[in-house]
Amino acid sequence: MKQSLGIACLMLTCQALATTYDDSRVQKAQQDLGHLSQAVQRIAQDLGRVPNNEEWPAILFESTDAGARWQGPYLPMTHPKPDPWNRRYLYLTRAQQVPAFGIYSSGANGIDERGAGDDITTWQGYDRFRYWNPKPTVRLVVLATVLAAMFAAIRYFRRARRAARR
């Protein structure tokens, strides 16, 4: 019994520490999305339309079928950098919506949820609760509390076992 309680406490501790997300990665993704969004808006001004899905991301760096109206490159690099989780940023056109395009990262879980879940997008606000990132002192307090509870439970069951033997 005490072993299963100890294992349960250890699993809870590991899960609490393993499911933390790094706020700086989210902020970096938001910053990247802002730069990419501005580049697409400049393309839309030059071409009179937003790029389609087939043109993304090449149109940021080289003229596709846009001809003389293309005034790029629109970013100072030769290819798009990956998101903070080392995956590519995703692009979609959104017909009859404002804005007419969307750029997003699939977020920490890496699952393309088309802007839902933990995806970080240009068209919706950032939900801080998707990315729980306690400060190191909070992590330490959580760990200390779980360990104290685990040791208290072990002590309780040892005493209970001794009392049952008598």
SS3 readout for 100-116: CEEEEECCCCCCCCCCC
pLDDT of 161 over the 80 cut: yes
Three-state SS string over 84-104 comes to CCCCCCEEEECCCCCCCEEEE
Distance CA 46, CA 58 (A): 16
In which band, very low, low, confident or very high, does the pLDDT at 165 lie, cut at 50, 70 and 90? confident
- The predicted-structure confidence for 51-90, as pLDDT tens digits, reads as follows 888 888 888 888 776 667 888 788 887 777 899 999 999 8
pLDDT of 128 over the 80 cut: no
Q: What percent of the chain shows pLDDT beyond 70?
A: 71
Distance CA 93, CA 47 (A): 15
From residue 48, give the alpha-carbon distance in Å to each of 40, 42, 92, 107, 147: 11, 10, 17, 31, 62
Instruction: Just give the CATH number of 23-130.
Output: 3.30.700.10
Distance CA 58, CA 73 (A): 10
Distance CA 119, CA 35 (A): 17
Residue among 8, 36, 43 at smallest CA distance from 104: 36
Out of 14-18, 68-72, 79-83, 96-100, the most confident range is 79-83
Of 7 and 24, which is predicted with more confidence?
24
